[in-house]
Structure 1
Amino acid sequence: MWKKTENLFYVHAILQLLAVLLVTTAAIMSVKNFSNSFNNSHQRIGLALYGIIWLQVLVGFLLPQRGSKGRSVWFFVHWAIGIAVALLGVLNIYTGLQAYHDKTSRSTWPWTIILTVQISSIVLFYLFQDKWVHIQNQGVTMGNEPTRITCQEVSVDDKKKELKVESC
């Protein structure tokens, strides 16, 4: 179990560092190629998002040792910043599409629909994955499994002090 968790940690760390490099490259390209007067929501959210992403990197490197008092507080802060980055990132895509529409008068509805379907799918997957084990433990059938109905009646014989199990 430990090896699997350790591998997931390294995969997480590598993917997040690659994302930070990509975001930094995008920020540099934005500064070089566009007028960044920060007069629209997309640019302001992007700047805030960039700062929060680097805050998340700093928090990630300050990981306390297992068992230390600050570990649970660190975990919550790291999780909360991660959720904030994800939500602001999605919001910034929508505001970017709106800014593109305002600047070019081109329709962005196909991209908006595609993004909405993608985000909805990711959210449903995220919510469902947390419940998958719970669903399996409840004996819920997913439609492709044979159902077996069992019925037993348990009664207590007080005189003999024993349990009787009888089929229905």
Structure 2
Amino acid sequence: MPGAQALVGYKDSKGSMTVKTYNISSYTLASVVQSKLAFDVWDERAEEDNGVMVIFAKIKVPADLAAKGMLNQVWQVGSSVDSEGILTPHDMNAPNLNAKGTLDLKGGQTVVTGGVDSKTKKRNIHGVLNAVSWGVLFPIGVIIARYLRPFQSADPAWFYLHVSCQVSAYAIGVAGWATGLKLGSESKGIQWTAHRNIGITLFSLATLQIFALFLRPKKDHKYRFYWNIYHHGVGYAILILGILNVFKGLDILHPEQKWKSTYVVVIAVLGGIALLLEIITWIAVLRRSNKSTKPYDGYNGQGGQQPFSA
């Protein structure tokens, strides 16, 4: 991380343990090469036993840090160091992000940060808000509109349920999007490009969809047909992007497997409900079509034959 004064231990090309110093000023490759630290360090060495590496060194603590008596400490495990001494990026999983503590220079104690830090909590909140909004509520709203609308007995209840779900999804999604922007501004050098771009596209389309409610033509208006095409197309785009981005977010957060499994089950249940309702809807539509196209048999409802018109 930028600002870190790092001691890096690794095996060189000959298989010997070596220790190098890195004054990391940014996330660019130029700053992750061997360089002198901001303080004096000597007698660096490293040992390896059964895959566990231990670094030893003597350092001269800067006066300002010595006066405070506390020193922030971070540690990481990377994949490799190339022949030019450039470090490859380490993972950004939760254990990596929580690998930090405070070293008490006066008391001789190391305090390891326990639990979940504030940034991880923000990530979790961001994930939950967006999973509930775009990943659950919005699909439910789509199901309501598609499968309740054909039934006259559900009119206009289906419309109000549909709008309620989508507006709620948008409101929660705005909160999730805002937390995402905040996380992005606090994580300089860490970019999840695909996740971010999908999120921006998703929020933009959803905002257009909300404003489209105020421009919705009446049923008999000549432009209603084109509005319906737009509304349905954008809606399905939001549906697909929302679910896709939830899975991308899960891949970034790397939560316990049970959380990803839970969301997969939720989506599978919603998909199963949609499939069942699709079958029921098509059966109802086909029956209605058969009744409307049944040939006239020449008799009225009382069994009498209707006269031919001259």
Q: Judge same fold: TM > 0.5, yes or no.
A: yes
Give the drift of 1:73. 1.5
Pick from 203, 215, 236: which aligns with 1:50? 203
Residues 38-77 of structure 1: CA distance to partner in whole angstroms, max 9, x if unpaired? 8312222111111111011122221111111211211121
Q: 1:21 aligns with which of 151, 158, 171?
A: 171
Counterpart amino acid of 2:244?
L
User: How many aligned positions are there?
Assistant: 133
Identity %: 25
Give the structure 1 partner of residue 300 of structure 2.
none
Which range moves more in the overlay, 4-13 or 81-90? 4-13
Q: Could you say if the C-alpha distance between residues 82 and 96 of structure 1 is closer, same or farther in structure 2, counting changes exceeding 3 Å? A: same
Structure 2 residue 180 is matched with structure 1 residue 30: yes
Structure 2: distance between partners of 1:32 and 1:11: 32
- In structure 2, do the counterparts of structure 1 residues 109 and 64 end up closer, same or farther at CA, with 3 Å as the change threshold? same
Q: 1:137 offset after TM fit, Å? A: 9.5
CA gap 1:2/1:117 in 2 versus in 1, 3 angstroms: closer
Q: Supply the distance in 1 between the matched residues of 2:237 and 2:165 (Cα, whole angstroms).
A: 18
> Quick check: 1:124 aligned with 2:272?
yes
Displacement after TM superposition at 1:111 (Å): 2.6
8 Å contact from structure 1 (residues 36, 43) kept in 2 = no
Read off the aligned partner of 1:61 and give its amino acid letter. F
Higher helix share: 1
Partner residue of 1:113 out of 261, 265, 271: 261
Give the match for residue 81 of structure 1: 234
- Report the alpha carbon displacement of residue 90 of structure 1 after superposing the two structures with TM: 0.5
Distance in 2, matches of 1:96 and 1:13, equals: 26
Task: Tell me by how many angstroms 1:36 deviates.
Answer: 6.3
Aligned residue for 2:223?
70
Q: 1: CA distance between counterparts of 2:162 and 2:203?
A: 19
Larger radius of gyration: 2
**Corresponding position of 1:153:** none
Cα–Cα, structure 1 residues 3 and 123, in superposed 2: closer, same or farther, change >3 Å?
Answer: closer
- Matched to 1:77, the amino acid is Y
**What CA distance in whole angstroms lies between the structure 2 residues aligned with 1:24 and 1:94?**
18
Q: Are 1:6 and 2:6 counterparts?
A: no
Deviates more, 1:49-58 or 1:7-16: 7-16
Q: Pick from 175, 180, 191: which aligns with 1:39?
A: 191
Q: 1:60 to 1:36 in 2, by over 3 A?
A: farther
CA RMSD of aligned residues (A): 2.7
Taking the aligned partners of 1:91 and 1:81, their CA distance within structure 2 comes to: 15
Deviation at 1:10, TM superposition (A): 2.0
Matched residue type, 1:79: H
TM-score, normalization by structure 2:
0.38
Structure with higher strand content? 2
Distance 1:108 1:94, change over 3 A: farther
